[in-house]
């Protein structure tokens, strides 16, 4: 049996592919429980978590990033938008240029297998988790069906169950009790997506890393804001005790002051007193908390979506439709995400599928996440009409797809050309005149059709000349070439029948037929008009 190698040059052990090797375990090092590192986090604590990740152990950083998305509604919203913008795009499998029979077979194989993966867009969102955390790992569950290796499932795995090698910080390894530096990943077993928000090692490439600081500041702000809201409109309570008061008496006074905030009632010894001091500037404090929270949200929106208009727009001077002025995700970010995802899928899905089922090929298929630029359908329709008048064949299936119009089935009632279309812009085409003569325009008076053809005779003549020019020029070139080859008129006369036999005159014949039909229509119109006079 031929030894296979993955994209990194590691040999493939086929027997290990069907086993699920990175599943969680209650007694092992890979557990689903979290240590909640965001609880009571401080700037010093956040810096310590990031430093641990820089040293190859991103466990706490991954848990922190997971909590950030759980606790911050704004952050989970924009992160979901960023990932769904890519996962909802069309996935295309492309063959190499001028593919061989084996390469085309490999392309068809990958297409068939990709279509059979259940809930693939949802699986892509797990792979795109790398946008936030810098990397993601999805285990491929292989199976055998009719002697063919197939992908039965794709299972997203917790990023914290993996770490990086200490030497290069580039090789992902599985946390395992038997390996101090992590267990090397089984080749052809994982989709490892590395997202590059910036240059550097993978643990520092996720977009949630810079967002962590905004999350921390916003967390502090919210804590103070909630505390402020709790005591808003309540005066400051100050308890005063004599110098001779005991510790027990001080505790009594403190409890009384605290109770005044919620119970509005308390008892204290006669020798003590409570004063109420009104605090000023409360409205300004409220604005400060809100401005800081909004600022943090805007910074996270810039980092994740590349802009703030769609995520943070409010009704105001620009109107409630302000968010519609920009796309959800900035175009350059969307294209970069799509390119990176396509490269990962090509490496970790195309090559394994082809090698396991066919063996290595010279050139592998390519998976592309296709982004179609929005088009102006009116402009497309005008251009299609203009090109059609110039003689360029345009497939109907192409236009049906572009305009998202279902192709009519047998027996369906279809729209017919109206009188307005014959007498309007379409009346200057040869095809319209021919259609009119064949009475393909149902319900239009014959006199109206004849008048339309007569009015557009000059334009029809110009169009006929423009369409015939390339055909006649090609014929003339053939004659000139023949004249260059012969030396006498007798030789030219002998070879002319040979020349005429090779010429394709079908297009010119079709144009002449259209011209005769148009001339006939114009003649009928003139006869009718003369009879009326």
Say whether both 357 and 450 belong to one domain.
no
Q: What is the pLDDT of residue 440?
A: 45
d(CA 366, CA 351): 10
Give the CA distances from residue 250 to residues 42, 132, 244, 275, in Å, rounded to whole numbers and listed in that order: 32, 52, 10, 15
**472 within some domain:** yes
The CA distance from 313 to 323, in Å, is 6
Helix then strand then coil, in percent of the chain rounded to 5, is 55, 10, 35
103 pLDDT band, cuts 50/70/90, is very high
Same domain, 366 and 422: no
Q: Give pLDDT, residue 91.
A: 92
Report d(CA 44, CA 216) in Å as an integer: 11
Distance CA 245, CA 299 (A): 52
Instruction: State residue 398's pLDDT score.
Output: 80
251 and 108 in a common domain: no
Distance between CA atoms of residues 474 and 508, nearest Å: 11
Instruction: Tell me: do 408 and 455 sit in the same domain.
Output: no
Q: Which two tokens stand for residue 69?
A: 């998305």
pLDDT of residue 166: 85
Residue with the bigger pLDDT between 57 and 502: it is: 57
State whether 247 and 342 are in the same domain.
Answer: no
Whether residue 67 is predicted with pLDDT greater than 90 in this model: the reply is yes
Q: What is the pLDDT of residue 479?
A: 79
**169 is a domain residue:** yes
226-230, 247-251, 310-314, range with the lowest pLDDT: 310-314
Q: To the nearest whole percent, how much of the chain has pLDDT over 90?
A: 37
What local confidence, expressed as pLDDT, does residue 5 receive? 76
The pLDDT of residue 350 is 94
362-385 pLDDT, tens digit each = 999 999 998 876 666 778 888 888
Task: Identify which of 459, 402, 403 has the alpha carbon closest to the alpha carbon of residue 426.
Answer: 459
- Note down the domain range covering 399: 378-414
Is residue 287 a part of any domain in this protein?
no
Q: List the single range of 207-221, 251-265, 482-496 with lowest mean pLDDT.
A: 251-265
Eight-class DSSP state of 34: -
- The answer to whether position 266 is within a domain reads yes
Q: Is residue 187 part of a domain?
A: yes
User: What gap in Å lies between CA 138 and CA 154, rounded to an integer?
Assistant: 6
Per-residue model confidence (pLDDT) at position 416: 61
Q: Over 90: is that where the pLDDT of 471 sits?
A: no
Nearest to 367 by CA among 113, 149, 8, 126: 113
Residue 262 in domain: yes
Task: Convert the pLDDT of each residue in 104-161 to its tens digit.
Answer: 999 999 999 999 898 898 999 999 999 999 999 999 999 988 888 999 999 999 999 9
Return mean pLDDT, the chain: 79
Residues linked to residue 135 through DSSP beta bridges, in sequence order: 194
What is the reported pLDDT for 60? 95
Evaluate whether residue 173 is within a structural domain: yes
Model confidence at 172: pLDDT above 70: yes
Residue 320 has pLDDT above 50, yes or no: no
More confident residue, 424 or 246: 246
- Looking at the chain, the whole-number percentage of residues with pLDDT higher than 70 is 75
Domain shared by 244 and 348, yes or no: no
pLDDT at 266 over 70: no
Lookup result for tokens 């949200």:
297
Better-scored residue on pLDDT, 329 or 458 = 329
pLDDT reported for residue 490: 80
Q: Are residues 404 and 437 in the same domain?
A: no
pLDDT of residue 419: 46
What would the pLDDT profile of 332-342 be if each residue is shown by its tens digit?
899 999 999 99
- Looking at residue 350, the DSSP 8-state letter turns out to be I
Q: What is the pTM of this model?
A: 0.64
- How many domains are contained in the chain? 4
Higher-confidence position of 296 and 281: 296
Evaluate if residue 264 carries a pLDDT over 60: no
pLDDT at site 422: 44
Q: Rounded to an integer, what distance in angstroms lies between the CA atom of residue 330 and that of residue 307?
A: 7
Predicted local confidence at residue 408, as pLDDT: 82
Do 337 and 386 have their domain in common? no
Q: Are residues 20 and 152 in the same domain?
A: yes
Selected residue with higher pLDDT from 482 and 435: 482
Same domain for 335 and 425, yes or no, is: no
Same domain, 404 and 475: no
Residues 106 and 206 in one domain: yes
């Amino acid at each position: 049996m031929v030894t296979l190698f993955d994209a990194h040059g590691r040999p493939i052990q086929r027997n290990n592919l069907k086993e699920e090797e990175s599943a969680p375990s209650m007694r092992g090092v890979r557990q689903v429980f979290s240590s909640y590192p965001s609880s009571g986090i401080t700037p010093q604590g956040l810096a310590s978590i990031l430093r641990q990740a820089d040293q190859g152990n991103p466990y706490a950083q991954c848990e922190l990033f997971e909590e950030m998305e759980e606790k911050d509604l704004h952050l989970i919203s924009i992160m979901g938008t960023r990932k769904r913008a890519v996962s909802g795009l069309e996935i295309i499998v492309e063959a190499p240029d001028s593919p061989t029979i084996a390469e085309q077979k490999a392309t068809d194989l990958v297409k068939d297998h990709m279509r059979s993966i259940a809930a693939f867009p949802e699986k892509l969102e797990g792979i795109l988790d790398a946008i936030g955390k810098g990397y993601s790992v999805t285990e491929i569950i292989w199976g055998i069906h009719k002697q063919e290796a197939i992908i039965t499932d794709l299972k997203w795995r917790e990023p914290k169950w993996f770490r990086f090698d200490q030497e290069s910080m580039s090789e992902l390894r599985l946390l395992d009790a038997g390996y101090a530096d992590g267990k090397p990943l089984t080749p052809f077993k994982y989709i490892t997506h590395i997202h590059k928000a910036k240059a550097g090692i993978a643990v520092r490439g996720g977009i949630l890393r810079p967002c962590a600081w905004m999350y921390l500041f916003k967390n502090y702000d919210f804590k103070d804001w909630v505390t402020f809201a709790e005591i808003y409109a309540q005066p400051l309570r100050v308890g005063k005790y004599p110098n001779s008061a005991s510790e027990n008496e001080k505790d009594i006074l403190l409890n009384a002051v605290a109770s005044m905030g919620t119970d509005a009632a308390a008892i204290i010894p006669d020798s003590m007193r409570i004063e109420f001091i009104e605090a000023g500037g409360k409205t300004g404090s409220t604005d400060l908390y809100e401005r800081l929270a909004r600022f943090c949200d805007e910074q996270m929106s810039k980092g994740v979506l590349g802009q703030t208009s769609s995520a943070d727009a409010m009704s105001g001077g620009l109107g409630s439709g302000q968010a519609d002025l920009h796309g959800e995700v900035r175009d350059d970010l969307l294209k970069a995400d799509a390119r990176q995802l396509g490269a990962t899928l090509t490496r970790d899905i195309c090559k394994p599928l082809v090698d396991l089922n066919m063996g290595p090929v010279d050139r592998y298929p390519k998976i592309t996440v296709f982004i179609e630029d929005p088009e102006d359908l009116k402009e497309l329709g005008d251009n299609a009409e203009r090109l059609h008048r110039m003689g360029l064949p345009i497939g109907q299936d192409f236009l049906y797809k572009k305009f998202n119009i279902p192709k009519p089935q047998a027996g369906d009632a279809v729209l017919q050309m109206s009188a307005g279309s014959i007498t309007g812009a379409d009346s200057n085409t040869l095809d319209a005149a021919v259609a009119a003569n064949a009475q393909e325009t149902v319900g239009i008076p014959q006199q109206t059709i004849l008048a339309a053809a007569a009015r557009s005779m000059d334009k029809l003549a110009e169009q006929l000349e423009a369409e015939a020019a390339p055909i006649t020029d090609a014929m003339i070139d053939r004659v000139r070439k023949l004249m260059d080859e012969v030396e006498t008129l007798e030789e030219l006369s002998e070879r002319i029948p040979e020349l005429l036999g090779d010429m394709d005159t079908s297009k010119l014949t079709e144009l002449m037929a259209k011209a005769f039909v148009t001339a006939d229509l114009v003649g009928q119109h003139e006869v009718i008009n003369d009879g009326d006079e």
